[in-house]
Structure 1
Amino acid sequence: MRTLVTGGAGFIGSHLTEHLLRAGDEVVVLDDLSTGREANLDAMSDHPGLRLVVGSVCDREIVDRCVRGVDRVFHAAASVGVLKILEKPLQSLRTNVHGTEIVLQAALEHGVPILITSTSEVYGKNSRIGLREDDDRVLGSPLKSRWSYAEAKAVAESMTHGYTTEHGLTAVIVRLFNTVGPRQAGQYGMVVPRFVEQALAGRPLTVYGDGHQIRCFCHVLDVVPAMVALLEDERAHGDVFNLGGTEQVSIGGLAERVIAVTGSTSDIVHLSYEQAYGEGFEDMRRRVPDSTKALERVGFRPRRDLDDVIAAVAAHSKQRREVEHA
């Protein structure tokens, strides 16, 4: 099997690439290295089945060249992270909408199945406990960058659905809920690696807002096999699936768990959203998935709990710090 992974040098993409190589695939990675890092592929750099192409999913010629000759595509390239989206909303829109359409068109032209990675952000401010795939989207103003990201990912889903229903493209959409693990960077606003890095450095853990926001986190090593299984299951084609954890935790509670797991002596401090992100930022009070569809279709069931996730992120962060200071 020959597979293309767009964004394959990123956090999720690199774990997916590693999983596929171990399964015997040849893997072509397309990544512009804007948020991905070649270092994320270090463990696989000598693998004869790996080929890295540095380029953008917005480059039609490069995408066509990468898709030609592969048997399937996992589209994981995207502008991600609250800080990056707030700083460069137009670039994020172009990557998440235009880039996705280019990849979809190439997959259609070359007759290969594709999995599109979407996000729980498409649900917006819907705080229902146990969000299902057909639940309503509740969004704020399109002039707020936070919601423009959600709009872009929803448009990408709609385009995928259109390519499937109108042109017969074989495609699956997955909506990821706070996927975390080793290699995830904290500088783009990802809360678990940010807390872990602060804890290991003995700095205060900065909780934005009142800390009562509820989230569910899921280890990347639980998510990746489900992504592969869904694309390989013909019964999943043309459908959308939530992939997320089941353990609800407040952000304040998460900070306490990070301190406990890492053995840190750090304090916890609070910053307002305005201090963290600027005026007008909006957040969700609760984001809890219902992943029953993925369970019933491919047996998706997270095996690692929140403490496992924190410990894995901490171990990776310690290892990276040792290498940087060696």
Structure 2
Amino acid sequence: MFRTKRILVTGGAGFLGSFLCDSLIADGHEVICLDNFHTGSRLNVHHLCDEPRFEIMRHDVTMPIHAEVDEIFNLACPASPVHYQTDPVQTVKTNVHGAINVLDLARRLKARVFQASTSEVYGNPLVHPQVESYAGNVNPIGHRACYDEGKRCAETLFFDFHRQYGLEIRVARIFNTYGPRMLPDDGRVVSNFIVQALRGDPLSIYGDGRQTRSFCFVDDLVRGFRALMDAPESVPMPINLGNPSEFTIRQLADLVIQMTGSRSIISHHPLPRDDPAQRRPDITRARQHLDWQPMIGLTEGLRRTIDYFEDRLSQGAPMRRIPARALPDASHRPQPVHANGGLA
């Protein structure tokens, strides 16, 4: 039987958090959106502000949290290299102190708590595709470590709270996700390529463009979040959430140029240090335990995302040019690299 819950979403005004808030409100729940608006935006949740079951709390997760809720989704942390490397110490604090504060609150309330972890915990993987049992290949002192190791430490805290205090936890390892409401200048590959193509600027490819990624449309990912949080049986293990179809960065660039009708050319730049060469999730656990898999194919997802950025441009929204030094995220499109990685 349906029961209305009061749910806290940290990072609720961000790209993923705002879509999660939409989904929870649509299902009749009460939502507290907690955000410090460092990378989140009030515009992402503006359409919810007249909803009586929606509340915004301006707060930083590195400080103790005071709220009375039934469940907690912890999504607070910049996810783009451009943003999380701007203040790496604060990124570590957000991941570690933030996890402690969220877990302390969940323990006090005896609430189920969800951690938005990341495929970056696998580092530059030596196992492909990545399965949850793989411990990863992470450089603990590299430029990406503030995020990679911060998320790994957050997972440690979640599982220690589960073992020591019996806390009900859910941990999702999120693979590259794209869609409307992405920041146009955050350095992630899909938003980079689309904005550059719409402006007629060269598309910035880092390295030779043969590195691969697997991208999941935001609607599919949020559906995975909900399925994992609502799973009736205990799920005290990480779950990969992402699209197992794998594409090269060059394939993604060619598709974006084709779909936007752009005359942009390709511009190559040095590959950033510790940038993973391959990234593709094994989603066997998600299929078995959650009956979940992505449903939205790349072409459909890109069309929705392109429409969003075209609308922003038509309204005169600021769309800063992506500097050549902006860090990439990676790839997508036409021919899958592996025979079983077909277009979903």
Shorter-chain TM band: over 0.9
Q: Is the 2:115–2:171 contact (alpha carbons within 8 Å) kept by the matching residues of 1?
A: yes
- Within 5 Å, which residues of 2 pair with 1:72-83? 72-83=71-82
In structure 2, the CA distance between the partners of 1:325 and 1:150, relative to structure 1 (3 Å rule), is closer
Q: Which residue of 1 aligns with 2:282?
A: 290
Query: Once superposed, what is the RMSD of the aligned Cα atoms?
Result: 1.4
Which residue among 295, 317, 320 is the counterpart of 2:312? Answer: 320
Q: Is the 2:70–2:109 contact (alpha carbons within 8 Å) kept by the matching residues of 1?
A: no
Q: 2:103 corresponds to which letter in structure 1?
A: L
Check if 1:187 corresponds to 2:185: yes
Structure 1 residue 244, shift from structure 2 partner: 0.6
User: Secondary structure at 2:304's aligned position in 1?
Assistant: helix
For this pair of structures, how many residues does the alignment match?
314
Check if 1:26 corresponds to 2:25: no
User: Secondary structure at 1:172's aligned position in 2?
Assistant: strand
Q: 1:129 corresponds to which letter in structure 2?
A: H
Greater fraction helix? 1
Q: 1:323 corresponds to which letter in structure 2?
A: Q
Question: Which whole-Å CA distance do the structure 2 matches of 1:313 and 1:235 have between them?
Answer: 35
Q: Which residue of 1 aligns with 2:337?
A: none
Question: Which whole-Å CA distance do the structure 1 matches of 2:127 and 2:46 have between them?
Answer: 40
- Decide which moves more: 146-155 or 19-28: 146-155
Percent identity of equivalent pairs:
34
In structure 2, the CA distance between the partners of 1:109 and 1:325, relative to structure 1 (3 Å rule), is closer
Question: Which whole-Å CA distance do the structure 2 matches of 1:325 and 1:215 have between them?
Answer: 29
User: Secondary structure at 1:300's aligned position in 2?
Assistant: coil
Q: Which residue of 1 aligns with 2:300?
A: 308
Structure 1 residue 313, shift from structure 2 partner: 1.2
- Within 5 Å, which residues of 2 pair with 1:59-208? 59-60=63-64, 63=65, 65-66=66-67, 68=68, 70-140=69-139, 142-208=140-206
Q: Is the 1:128–1:288 contact (alpha carbons within 8 Å) kept by the matching residues of 2?
A: no
Q: Is the 1:111–1:169 contact (alpha carbons within 8 Å) kept by the matching residues of 2?
A: yes
Structure 2 gap ranges (5+): 319-344
TM-score, normalised to structure 2, is 0.88
Q: Is the 1:30–1:53 contact (alpha carbons within 8 Å) kept by the matching residues of 2?
A: yes
Structure 1 residue 33, shift from structure 2 partner: 0.2
User: Secondary structure at 2:239's aligned position in 1?
Assistant: strand
Which residue among 217, 220, 223 is the counterpart of 1:222? Answer: 220
- CA deviations on 1:245-304 (whole Å, 9 max, x unpaired) are 02111011111111111121111111113xxx6xxx221110110011011111111111
TM-score, normalised to structure 1, is 0.93
Structure 1 gap ranges (5+): none
In structure 2, the CA distance between the partners of 1:74 and 1:203, relative to structure 1 (3 Å rule), is same
User: Secondary structure at 1:145's aligned position in 2?
Assistant: coil
